[in-house]
Structure 1
Amino acid sequence: MSTSSQDQFKYTTIAHSDHRYCCPLSPAKASTLLAALQLTPDALVLDAGCGKAALLRDLLQSAPASVRGVGVDINTRFLTEASNAWASSNPGDDRLTLVESQVEHHPPPATGYDAILCIGSSHVFGGFDRSLATCWQWLKPGGLLLTGEGYWKQSPSEQYLAMLGATRDELTSHEQNVSRALANGYKLLTSAVSSDDEWDQYEGMYYRAMMRHVATHPEDPDAVVFSERAQRWYDSYLESGKATLGFGYYLLEKN
C-alpha cells in the first residue's frame, strides 16, 4: 500500500465514499444529539478531526443563523468534499470555516469555544483522557463537548485485538467512559450508543465502497491489498466486532 503523505488517507477515504458520517451514526440519532446542544446565538463551535464535517454542517443548518463553525482535519479530500457540499447547499454562507491542520496546531480563540464536537477523533489530541482535558481548556465556562468514543461491549479476544491492531487497555466500557469524563470535571447531560443497525449500516457501506472501487479500478496498484484488507475487516466484524466493539456519544458540560 502506498505510504506517501498524499496517499496516507487513500484507504479510509475510499471506504467512506458513501458515508455521510464517518462513524456508526444514523441521521435520526445525529439530529437528536445536535438538538440537545441548544446553542445560543453567536456561538462558535469547533469540530476537531471533522472528516467531512457532516455533523458540523448539520448543526449549522439547525442552529441560530449567527452560530459559526470551524472544522479542522488533515484529510484534504474529506475537507474538499465538505467544502463543496456546504457551498452547494448554502451558497454565499460563510459561517463554516474548514482548516487543513493538525488540531493542536490550530489554537483556540482567546475567549474559547462555546461547543466542541469530537466524534471518533480523540486520537487527534492523543487519546480520550487527553481530549477531555484539552477540550476543557478550550471551552468557555458552561461550554459543551459532544464526544464520540469507542468502548468494549465485552472483553475482546486476542485474535480480534490483533485484527484491530489495538491493545486491550485502549478502550474501557461505556460506563467507564462516562466516569472518565466526570473525573475530568464535566457534567454528563446525555449519552447514547450506536445500535446494531447503525453498525451494520456503517460496516456494510464501508465494505461495499471498497469492493466497488477495487472492481472498477483494476489498474490501481493497491487493489489487491485493499480488497484483502476490506474482506478481512468485514469478516472480523461479523465474527467478533459486532459483539465486541461499541461506540458511545456523550454530551458533556464544563462546570
Structure 2
Amino acid sequence: MDLPRNFTVRESGHRVHNPFTEEDLATLGRALRLAPGSRILDLACGSGELLCTWARDHGTTGTGVDISTVFLAAARERAAELGVADRVGFVHGDASGHVAGAPVDVAACVGATWIGGGVAGTVELLERSVRPGGLLLVGEPYWRREPPDLTTVEACHATARDDYFALPELLEHFGGLGWDVVEMVLADQRGWDRYVAAQWLNIRRWLDANPGDELAGELRAELTEGPARHVRYQREYLGWGVFALMRRRPPGHG
C-alpha cells in the first residue's frame, strides 16, 4: 500500500503537498488560536508539515496518517529536525478508514477529500474523531472563475464542472451539512505556482538522473505540456483553501 511513484517524483521537494505556502500554513495556525496540548488528527498528512510546525509554534500534539511511505519518512525527519518527535507521530495506512482512538480537538483533511468520496463524506469521517465543540479542517479546491468548457474542466483535474463548487457554493455546502465556517485561509496564484511550478524542477532533475526509467516518457510529456497548461487553466480558474468548521448547535443552544 503506497502512492504511485509519479506522485513522489513530482513532489519530492515539497513540504506542503497542496497550493498552500508555508506562510499560509503558519497564518492558519495562528488564526485558530489553539491551546498548547491541543490534539490534532491529520488524515492524508503528506510530509507532516502542519503537525510538525504547529507542534513547534503552538505546543500542539497529534497524529498523521498517510499512504505514502516516502512522505511519512520525510515527516519523521521533519519532526526530528524541529525537535517535536515526542509530540507528533505518523501512521502508515489508508486514511479513508481511520478514526482516532480517543476524541481529538482538531480533525483535519487538507487537500484529500477523495478519502471520504468528496466533501460530505470527508466531513462525516472527520466528525467521528473530533470532540464535541472541536474543529474540523478541510482543504478543498473551488472554481475561482466559471470554467467555459470541458477542456478547462479537465485541465483542472476534474471530469465535470460539478466536481468542484464555486466558493460561495462551497461555504453554503458546509452549512447544509450542519457546520459553521469559523475561519478560512485561501491560497492565491502564487501558492499555485509554488506548488505546481516546483514540480517541474523535481521532474526535470529526476529525468536527468533516470533517463531509462519506465516513467520517463510519461513525466517527459508532463514537463513538456504542463507549464502552459498550468498558466492557461489551473492558475486562472481553480482556487484552493482550508476551511475551519464547527458543528452547529440545535436551536436554543447557541
SS class of match (2:120): helix
Match of 2:136 among 128, 140, 145: 145
Report the counterpart of residue 162 of structure 1 in structure 2.
154
Given that 1:160 and 1:236 are in contact with CA atoms closer than 8 Å, whether structure 2 keeps it comes out as: no
What is the alpha-carbon distance in structure 2 between the residues aligned to residue 254 and residue 41 of structure 1?
22
Match of 1:34 among 22, 29, 32: 29
Q: Deviations over 1:24-51 (max 9, x none)?
A: 1122221110112222343210011001
Q: Deviations over 1:132-153 (max 9, x none)?
A: 1222232111101122100112
**Is the counterpart of residue 125 in structure 1 residue 119 in structure 2?**
no
What is the alpha-carbon distance in structure 1 between the residues aligned to residue 82 and residue 24 of structure 2?
22
Q: How does 1:91-240 map to 2 (within 5 A)?
A: 93-110=85-102, 112-156=103-147, 157-163=149-155, 164=157, 166-240=159-233
SS class of match (1:57): helix
TM-score by length of 2: 0.90
Given that 1:14 and 1:210 are in contact with CA atoms closer than 8 Å, whether structure 2 keeps it comes out as: yes
What is the alpha-carbon distance in structure 2 between the residues aligned to residue 101 and residue 230 of structure 1?
30
What is the alpha-carbon distance in structure 1 between the residues aligned to residue 152 and residue 204 of structure 2?
22
Report the counterpart of residue 251 of structure 2 in structure 1.
none
Given that 1:148 and 1:247 are in contact with CA atoms closer than 8 Å, whether structure 2 keeps it comes out as: yes
Q: Deviations over 1:139-178 (max 9, x none)?
A: 1111011221001122322113334252221101111111
Given that 1:139 and 1:254 are in contact with CA atoms closer than 8 Å, whether structure 2 keeps it comes out as: no
Given that 1:174 and 1:248 are in contact with CA atoms closer than 8 Å, whether structure 2 keeps it comes out as: no
- CA apart distance, 1:231: 2.8
Report the counterpart of residue 20 of structure 1 in structure 2.
15
Given that 1:188 and 1:253 are in contact with CA atoms closer than 8 Å, whether structure 2 keeps it comes out as: yes
* Pairwise CA RMSD: 1.8
Given that 1:114 and 1:144 are in contact with CA atoms closer than 8 Å, whether structure 2 keeps it comes out as: yes
Given that 1:74 and 1:101 are in contact with CA atoms closer than 8 Å, whether structure 2 keeps it comes out as: yes
Q: Deviations over 1:49-80 (max 9, x none)?
A: 0011111111111123xx32100010111001
What is the alpha-carbon distance in structure 2 between the residues aligned to residue 119 and residue 230 of structure 1?
26
What is the alpha-carbon distance in structure 1 between the residues aligned to residue 71 and residue 141 of structure 2?
22
Match of 2:75 among 78, 82, 85: 82
Q: Percent identity?
A: 25
What is the alpha-carbon distance in structure 1 between the residues aligned to residue 231 and residue 31 of structure 2?
33
Unpaired runs of 5+ residues, structure 1, are: none
The code of the aligned residue for 1:201 comes to R
**Which consecutive segments of 4 or more residues in structure 1 shift more than 3 A?**
none
